[in-house]
């Protein structure tokens, strides 16, 4: 499971994670938690599943908080007795990330870079605080306020019952891109779409104006 999650940006509360771990453990399963949006948490406790147990598998990457999407470098924290077997799988599946990516990742871990990354996180929060009410004002419904990542998963049934075609038209006619709900599973997928606030505030404002114009035209 992923926390913060894509596409909702929500965090799994610690007590629910603990309950999930208890159930999985009872069934002799393994809990794998994807924490790729760690560091991109707004006004909530930014924690790790490893606080709960060393027996949890945690996946992370330089793609989000570190802004290194495409460099193909990440990491796993695994129970000590799994290191050897995972090492052997990694050796056979991908061997190693590119050397240049590894050096870039080392630099990303310095305290100097962290100052910049935390400023970037604060900018993401400002964008969320703009985009969420702006979308709600247009008529989108957002069931849960995102506390992390950089997405808003919105109900768009006021405008369409086919978010895939609707998003396609919005892209073709207004140049605004969103991800349709079907990208994330079946549940009410046609009534939902995901907005990413990975662009500047200025661009987000332009996008809101364009969505507004698009809705009025339909
Ligand atoms: C929850 C989650 N996990 C993993 C990934 C993949 O990231 P990477 O670039 O490290 O392959 C994404 C990318 O959007 C994501 O949202």
Name the residue with the closest Cα to ligand 1, atom 7: 63
- Give ligand 1 pocket residues (Cβ under 6 A): 2, 6, 34, 36, 61, 63, 69, 74
Q: Is there a single domain that holds both residue 83 and residue 163? A: no
Tell me, what CATH number does 187's domain have?
A: 3.90.1150.10
Question: pLDDT value at position 46?
Answer: 93
6 inside domain: no
Q: Is there a single domain that holds both residue 81 and residue 35? A: yes
Confirm whether pTM is higher than 0.85: yes
Question: pLDDT by residue for the chain (218 residues), tens digit each?
Answer: 999 999 999 999 999 999 999 999 999 999 999 999 999 999 999 999 999 999 999 999 999 999 999 999 999 999 999 999 999 999 999 899 999 999 999 999 999 999 999 999 999 999 999 999 999 999 999 999 999 999 999 999 999 999 999 999 999 999 999 999 999 999 999 999 999 999 999 999 999 999 999 999 98
| Burial of 192 (C-beta count, 10 Å sphere; 0-12/13-18/19+) | buried
Which of 9, 36, 73 has most ligand 1 atoms within 8 Å of CB, for mutation? 36
- Measured in angstroms, how far is the CA atom of residue 148 from the centroid of ligand 1? 14
User: Which range marks the domain in which residue 136 is found?
Assistant: 113-217
30 inside domain: yes
Instruction: Give tens-digit pLDDT for 37-59.
Output: 999 999 999 999 999 999 999 99
When divided into structural domains, the chain yields a total of: 2
Question: pLDDT value at position 218?
Answer: 82
**What DSSP letter does each residue of 57-70 carry, written as one string?**
EEEEESSSTT--TT
Q: Is there a single domain that holds both residue 118 and residue 194? A: yes
- Measured in angstroms, how far is the CA atom of residue 184 from the centroid of ligand 1? 13
90 φ, ψ (degrees, to nearest 5): -60, -40
9: left (phi over 0), alpha (psi -120 to 50) or beta: left
């Amino acid at each position: 499971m992923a926390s913060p999650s894509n596409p909702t940006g929500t965090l799994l509360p610690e007590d629910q994670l603990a309950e999930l771990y208890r159930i999985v453990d009872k069934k002799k399963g393994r809990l794998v938690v994807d924490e790729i949006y760690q560091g991109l948490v707004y006004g909530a406790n930014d924690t790790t599943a490893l606080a709960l147990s060393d027996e949890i598998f945690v996946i992370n990457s330089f793609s989000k908080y570190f802004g290194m999407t495409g460099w193909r470098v990440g990491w796993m924290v695994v129970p000590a007795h799994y290191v050897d077997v995972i090492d052997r799988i990694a050796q056979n599946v991908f061997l190693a990330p590119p050397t240049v990516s590894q050096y870039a990742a080392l630099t990303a871990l310095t305290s100097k870079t962290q100052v910049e990354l935390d400023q970037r996180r604060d900018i993401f929060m400002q964008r969320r605080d703009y985009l969420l009410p702006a979308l709600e004002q247009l008529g989108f419904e957002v069931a849960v306020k995102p506390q992390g990542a950089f997405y808003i998963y919105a109900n768009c049934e006021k405008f369409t019952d086919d978010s895939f075609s609707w998003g396609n038209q919005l892209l073709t006619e207004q140049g605004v891109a969103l991800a349709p709900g079907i990208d994330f599973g079946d549940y009410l997928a046609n009534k939902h779409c995901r907005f990413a606030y990975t662009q500047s505030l200025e661009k987000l404002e332009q996008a809101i104006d364009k969505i507004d114009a698009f809705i009025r035209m339909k």
